[in-house]
Structure 1
């Protein structure tokens, strides 16, 4: 059976990929399944560069096809911030609540019509003897004035998803998976996966 490595230690992310591969005879592995999987430093200047760095590095080490993602929140009024720094926007330690507080503070005087934002996801596929392929997807919305909902993680409580008419944190995981930036990127990845496998 063919294998593909998803360059993550997050089981939730891995499950989203398992759905994509369910029709194909492919075994999904994650970094948790590998001995001594390195933490690849994200030194790129874009989501695409960071995803590519991870995919190529893990592929080089394992000799397998690897899919890596980099994603985050892009706010128009903040010139694209937090962007590639989304996970550590409020400091080196990852802290969802502190990140949300920082965004709400920076957006405190921005009127509703100027609060446009999107979640962005870049996926890179790399493997032996192949040119790395990168696809992306977005979920459009706006930044709320306060937290709404208790589901999800990260910026979900303050991100109002236009397609759903509610915050990401007010959705079930099934609802979120249908409209998320990762779902859109995975959709764009399908034709690539079908040609690879």
Structure 2
């Protein structure tokens, strides 16, 4: 069994990724199990931030690390909230705060101009000095609706409408989201590459 450290403190992301990795010969452990503190995400792109997090987790634990950086890109906001998705409404913003700010920013726009997508970048580093980290990225297309719907998921899921399912991401069952989402697509790429390595 290969041990990997997951460079996140977000319990919902840990659960989501563990569910997707079930059946693989990996034991994925959150960095909190090793008392790894969060590192400042100083990158201007999802790729940069994911590399920063993976390198930090690998350095502190001595284990191979997977890091995820993901967020929402809204066309009408020129790609915002982007890398600031988790802190769109401020440093200590809750999901609720961020969604409220997003709805306010888009309140003047008709539905046709509310196109958006989730992005996920996954980085795998064999060790902290890995010169060739594996980088996988994928998107999930949708648009932002005017009011929250659904109780599942997290982040912007209650207002992220998915045309292929005719509902929001928060209305999908977890298994369905784990099949369709940006994170699911990026993880499928990563799993294929990890199987080649291991």
Give the CA deviation at 1:27.
1.7
Distance in 1, Cα, partners of 2:56 & 2:161: 35
Give the CA deviation at 1:66.
0.2
Q: Which moved more, 1:16-25 or 1:133-142?
A: 16-25
Map 1:43-62; keep pairs closer than 5 Å: 43-62=42-61
**Aligned partners of 1:42 and 1:53 also within 8 Å:** yes
Map 1:1-197; keep pairs closer than 5 Å: 1-34=1-34, 36-128=35-127, 130=130, 131-197=132-198
CA deviation string 1:56-106 (max 9, x = no partner): 121122221100001111000100000110111011112112211111111
**Aligned partners of 2:20 and 2:184 also within 8 Å:** no
Give the CA deviation at 1:10.
3.1
Give the CA deviation at 1:182.
0.6
TM-score, with length taken from structure 2: 0.92
Q: Which 4+ residue blocks in structure 1 deviate beyond 6 angstroms?
A: none
Give the CA deviation at 1:151.
2.0
Distance in 2, Cα, partners of 1:62 & 1:92: 27
Give the CA deviation at 1:47.
0.6
Number of residues of Structure 1 aligned to a counterpart in Structure 2 = 196
CA deviation string 1:128-186 (max 9, x = no partner): 36421111111100000111222222111111012211111111111211111110110
Give the CA deviation at 1:195.
2.0
Summarize the Cα distance change of 1:97–1:21 in structure 2 as closer, same or farther, 3 Å threshold.
closer
Distance in 2, Cα, partners of 1:64 & 1:126: 9
Distance in 1, Cα, partners of 2:24 & 2:147: 42
Distance in 1, Cα, partners of 2:194 & 2:92: 35
For the aligned residues, what is the CA RMSD? 1.6
Which blocks of at least 5 consecutive residues in structure 1 are unaligned? none
